[in-house]
A and B are shown apart, each in its own frame.
Chain A
Amino acid sequence: MSQSEAETVDAGAVAATDRPLLEFWRYFSANRGAVIGLGGIILVVLLAIFADIVSPHSPTISDAQSFLKPPAWEEGGSWVYPLGTDAIGRDMLSRLIHGTRFSLLIGCIVVAISGTIGVALGLCAGFFQGAPGILIMRLMDIVLTIPPLLLAIVLVAILGPGLINAMIAVSITYLPYFVRVTRAAALAELTKDYVTASRVNGAGTLRLMVMTVLPNCMAPIIVQATLSFSTAILDAAALGFLSLGAQPPTPEWGTMLADSRDFVLRAWWVVTLPGLAILGTVLAFNILGDGLRDALDPRLKR
């Protein structure tokens, strides 16, 4: 949703990642918040992997006897359904646990798609600064004039509602950010001596792009990727909330929220819990992103 902050990652100022991994870890682990974020993410990943084992019930099978049962500690609740049930009698806890899979999937796929294509386009724009570069950047400027969520909504309308299409739509809206960050980093690298040296040594353009320049542009790209990961979860949930994302009976958190809007006044848990799950997961990734940025950004090192 809000990518603008990511743009302020100053590509030129981020140092190359040729220093030892150990040093990175030292800076990273010194940041207590980042470690907490990492812990949260590990928890989410574990829940996603072992969802079938840790969930007390199936996320999709409904119990016709228990519609909208409150959580265990509330009056009328029971430990059979620790966090209560939804409008058609499915266990909230199990649905929330299974939801972790979709959120991680969304983050990974979106970053993979928009990262791969965006970095490729960004490198091209950096290397071919004539007509192709201008064309790419103009195109990205045009795409950027359409607010990302609006563009994603229109794209989902074109592709049809569904989780996969929502992921594709969100990926497309993130392209310009990857293109810009990569191009800026590539432009900075291109002026450096080692690039000229490789060129003189007869390295082909493709080799130069992928093997020589790209590895040295990774720092800002990695920061952009972590930020995109969390905003992708938010945007896909927003699409789900507008009934354009994942479809039933998928226990995706945004879709769960959309389903439960009717029950806002009657059953607080069906509305509150999926939102908390989204917030917690996104927060963990953002904390991690901040930690990564601090560790990769030399300006803040003392």
Chain B
Amino acid sequence: MKRYAWAAGIGLAAAIGFSAPTMAKTFVYCSEGSPENFYPAINTTGTSFDASSRAIYSRLVEFKLGTTEVGPGLANKWDVSADGLTYTFHLRTGVKWQTTKTFKPTREFNADDVIFSFERQWKTDNAYFKVTSDNHSYFNDMDMPKSLKAIEKVDDHTVRFVLNAPDAPFLANMAMDFASIESKEYADAMLKAGTPEKMDQEPVGTGPFVLESYQKDAVIRYKANASFYAGKPKIDNLVFAITPDASVRFAKLKAGECDLIPYPAPADVPAMKADKKLHVYDQAGLNIAYLAFNTTKKPYDNLKVRLAVDMAINKKAIVDAVYLGTGIAATNPIPPSMWSYDKQVKDTPYDPEQSKKLLAEAGLANGFETDLWYMPVQRPYNPNGKRIAELMQADLAKVGIKANLVTYEWGEYRKRLQAGEPSLMQFGWSGDNGDPDNFLYTLLGCAAAKPGGNNVARWCDQDFQAAIEDAQRTPDIKKRTADYEKAQVIFKQQSPWFTIGHSLQIAASKEGVTGFKLSPLAYHDFSTVDKN
């Protein structure tokens, strides 16, 4: 037996995938990392959302598959009052909670669950406020505590949200992961049993899949939720095989060990596209990578210097060498797939000669020395900050600017950027809810141009600010579009950022996988996936 096993282990390993009994339809998704945990409201990464909120839970409203458009979810329909202050959600009836090893539900989903899910994050006196973690990041980041006035139960299937002020992106926020709905009955049962953390370790939701087991850093197993309100998923089992290394994911896909992989290494994408047995999905992502100038520091307080740097860097070479066909050069601070994107805006051209002239006009004919901060980690919008920085360094050297590369550990890096320490730095953003406000106000508004704020360019332009504030106050899309277009023109003239690129969301699957759509919000949703 032993000798046989040894020989088989070496020789037949490749065939093992086929020899396993596969009566039930099992779909293997080779995910890029371990989830933080299974409570979406305290998580911040897409990796965790894929494993928790998207697979297990549902929300009042949902982003329609593959778009940022908001459609019905656990709420069939909703009414918004004329003043934009009251949102009334009419809940779907007959939605069943999942049954797991730890919990057998006795009732269906109702308004109590909705209220519990928000109060858990909102009211400090809620018994669950501190369970697992009291840091409900997104609830705070989306300004919910400031925005919410009250959440009221009208009847078992009607809930009313009252706001303090009109908030155009509110509905989109309700489709975000932190707004996932949890079972109050389960919460009460666990509290009674004295094990409230179980709620977040052995989650119960109303979503398409039921969690079966999780082995840290190795595998997550789900089975299909037969009573999912939008219809039972077509696959019987869903497996997340955690595979952090991008080239390894690709190798496993080729070996047939994965059905679908996210985030391939850009270098592998051409080979994937050439392989007829694979299918490559791409979708413009809601993101931007940029090189910000600290406009309060010398010499970048001078517009001519900022433009000179813009002209010195060969953007096309960067996109070609680093994004390798998985990204496009960026002109505006918002991606082209977002509504209100202004196609009329022209990018600053690559022109080293003109750059030198501008430097001379700024009194820096002999160039200058600067620190250039680069991202220490790969992000969805920036495949390799280090490589981009090296290319920029070489380009800047040609116009006499000596750039010294600087980086820190990612948490530290962000902290220092938000504290306003560097003068020239790479940074980026992935959109949360698909609203331009989530880019322009969050990243370039005056309110964020302070220590700890996200406006790392410390740029505060009164005309720009007037335009984006105007857009916040009105629900009229046409009016908002005009405001945002104006803002984009001002942005380009003043150039607080060298816009680098928008990356595409990419995934690849084996032949025969159907029903998968990438989300611009970087979710991976398997409720409609099938394979043959």
Any B CB within 8 A of the CB of A290? no
Known contacts A64-B321, A88-B391; decide if A247 and B405 are in contact (CB<8 Å): yes
| Residues of A with C-beta under 8 A to B409 | 157
Known contacts A62-B390, A87-B267, A249-B393; decide if A265 and B405 are in contact (CB<8 Å): no
Q: How far is the CA of A67 from the CA of B321 in the complex (A)?
A: 7
Any A CB within 8 A of the CB of B317? yes
Q: Name the contact of A262 in the complex, choosing from B247, B321, B390, B405 (C-beta under 8 A).
A: B247
Any B CB within 8 A of the CB of A294? no
Q: How far is the CA of A249 from the CA of B268 in the complex (A)?
A: 23
B247, A264: Cβ atoms under 8 Å?
Answer: yes
Known contacts A248-B405, A259-B387; decide if A265 and B393 are in contact (CB<8 Å): no
Q: How far is the CA of A96 from the CA of B271 in the complex (A)?
A: 28
Q: How far is the CA of A61 from the CA of B409 in the complex (A)?
A: 26
* Size class of the A contact interface (CB-based, 8 Å): 20 to 34
A36 to B: closest C-beta gap in Å: 35
Q: How far is the CA of A88 from the CA of B393 in the complex (A)?
A: 12
Chain B at the A interface: SS class:
helix
Q: How far is the CA of A49 from the CA of B220 in the complex (A)?
A: 54
Give per-residue flags for A54-71: 1 if the beta carbon is below 8 A from chain B beta carbons, else 0.
000000111010010000
Q: How far is the CA of A263 from the CA of B324 in the complex (A)?
A: 12
A266, B268: Cβ atoms under 8 Å?
Answer: yes
A62, B386: Cβ atoms under 8 Å?
Answer: no
B265 to A: closest C-beta gap in Å: 4
B350 to A: closest C-beta gap in Å: 11
B389, A60: Cβ atoms under 8 Å?
Answer: no
Give per-residue flags for B350-375: 1 if the beta carbon is below 8 A from chain A beta carbons, else 0.
00000000000000000000000000
Any B CB within 8 A of the CB of A89? yes
| Residues of B with C-beta under 8 A to A243 | 376
B386, A262: Cβ atoms under 8 Å?
Answer: no
B321, A89: Cβ atoms under 8 Å?
Answer: yes
Any A CB within 8 A of the CB of B407? yes
Any B CB within 8 A of the CB of A261? yes
B250, A248: Cβ atoms under 8 Å?
Answer: no
Chain B residues 301-328 with CB under 8 Å of chain A are: 314, 317, 320-322
Q: How far is the CA of A265 from the CA of B314 in the complex (A)?
A: 28
Any B CB within 8 A of the CB of A132? no
Chain B residues 237-266 with CB under 8 Å of chain A are: 245-247, 250-251, 265-266
Give per-residue flags for B388-412: 1 if the beta carbon is below 8 A from chain A beta carbons, else 0.
0111011000000000010111000
A64, B386: Cβ atoms under 8 Å?
Answer: no
Considering the complex, give the chain B residue whose CB is closest to the CB of A160. B408
How many of B's residues come within 8 Å of A, CB to CB?
27
Residue among A157, A262, A263, A265 with max Cβ neighbours from chain B (10 Å): A262
B244 to A: closest C-beta gap in Å: 12
Known contacts A262-B246, A262-B265; decide if A64 and B387 are in contact (CB<8 Å): no
Give per-residue flags for A77-91: 1 if the beta carbon is below 8 A from chain B beta carbons, else 0.
000000000011100
A248, B390: Cβ atoms under 8 Å?
Answer: yes
Known contacts A88-B391, A249-B390; decide if A265 and B271 are in contact (CB<8 Å): yes
| Residues of A with C-beta under 8 A to B390 | 60, 62, 88, 248-249
Give per-residue flags for A125-161: 1 if the beta carbon is below 8 A from chain B beta carbons, else 0.
0000000000000000000000000000000010011
Considering the complex, give the chain B residue whose CB is closest to the CB of A64. B317
Considering the complex, give the chain A residue whose CB is closest to the CB of B408. A160
Q: How far is the CA of A261 from the CA of B383 in the complex (A)?
A: 13
Q: Name the contact of B321 in the complex, choosing from A87, A160, A247, A259 (C-beta under 8 A).
A: A87
| Residues of B with C-beta under 8 A to A263 | 267
| Residues of B with C-beta under 8 A to A248 | 386-387, 389-390, 405
A59 to B: closest C-beta gap in Å: 12
A243 to B: closest C-beta gap in Å: 8
A263 to B: closest C-beta gap in Å: 5
Q: How far is the CA of A266 from the CA of B265 in the complex (A)?
A: 11
A83 to B: closest C-beta gap in Å: 19
Chain B residues 205-260 with CB under 8 Å of chain A are: 245-247, 250-251
| Residues of A with C-beta under 8 A to B391 | 62, 88
A265, B250: Cβ atoms under 8 Å?
Answer: yes
Considering the complex, give the chain A residue whose CB is closest to the CB of B386. A248
Q: How far is the CA of A45 from the CA of B250 in the complex (A)?
A: 40
| Residues of B with C-beta under 8 A to A247 | 405, 407
Considering the complex, give the chain B residue whose CB is closest to the CB of A266. B267
| Residues of A with C-beta under 8 A to B245 | 261
Considering the complex, give the chain A residue whose CB is closest to the CB of B248. A264
A211 to B: closest C-beta gap in Å: 46
A71 to B: closest C-beta gap in Å: 18
Residue among A67, A259, A265 with max Cβ neighbours from chain B (10 Å): A265
A254 to B: closest C-beta gap in Å: 14
Can you report 7 A-B residue pairs in the complex whose CB atoms are below 8 A from each other? A87-B321, A88-B322, A248-B386, A248-B387, A261-B245, A265-B247, A266-B271
Q: A64-B317, A261-B245, A262-B247 are in contact. List 18 more A-B contacts (CB 8 A).
A: A60-B394, A61-B394, A62-B391, A64-B314, A67-B321, A89-B321, A161-B407, A247-B405, A248-B387, A248-B390, A249-B390, A259-B387, A261-B247, A262-B246, A263-B267, A264-B247, A265-B251, A266-B267
Minimum-distance CB pairs A-B, first 8:
A262-B265, A64-B317, A262-B267, A249-B390, A248-B390, A248-B386, A263-B267, A62-B394
